[in-house]
Amino acid sequence: MSETVLKVEVVTPEKRVWSGEAKMVSARTLEGDLGILPDHAPLLGVLADGTVSIKSTDGTTNDFVINGGFISVSKNRVSILGEAESVKN
């Protein structure tokens, strides 16, 4: 039996910045901090300015500076929509 993972994409108005499989996504919404793991309840939130961290299944962490946007979680799919810039780790 395979381990459940998140399918994640980070999208700006111009292009898809990143997509892949992840173990966890951390983000800050206007309501507070989120830690999203596989099988998370459906969610639609407004992102606060800050950093979104994606822990990939290969163990690497991808950080993105977000300047406004939205996050959607449904059926192990996470979409991050907004102004995003990758941060080199």
Walk me through the domains of the chain, giving residue ranges and CATH numbers.
6-87 (2.60.15.10)
Please report, rounded to a whole number, the percentage of residues in the chain having pLDDT higher than 70. 96
- Give the Å distances, CA to CA, from 81 to 4, 9, 58, 72: 23, 8, 23, 8
DSSP run (H or E) holding 59:
none
- pLDDT tier, 84 (very low <50, low <70, confident <90, very high otherwise): confident
| pLDDT for res 3 | 74
pLDDT tens digits for range 26-55: 999 999 999 999 999 999 999 999 999 999
pLDDT attached to residue 85:
85
Distance CA 12, CA 30 (A): 19
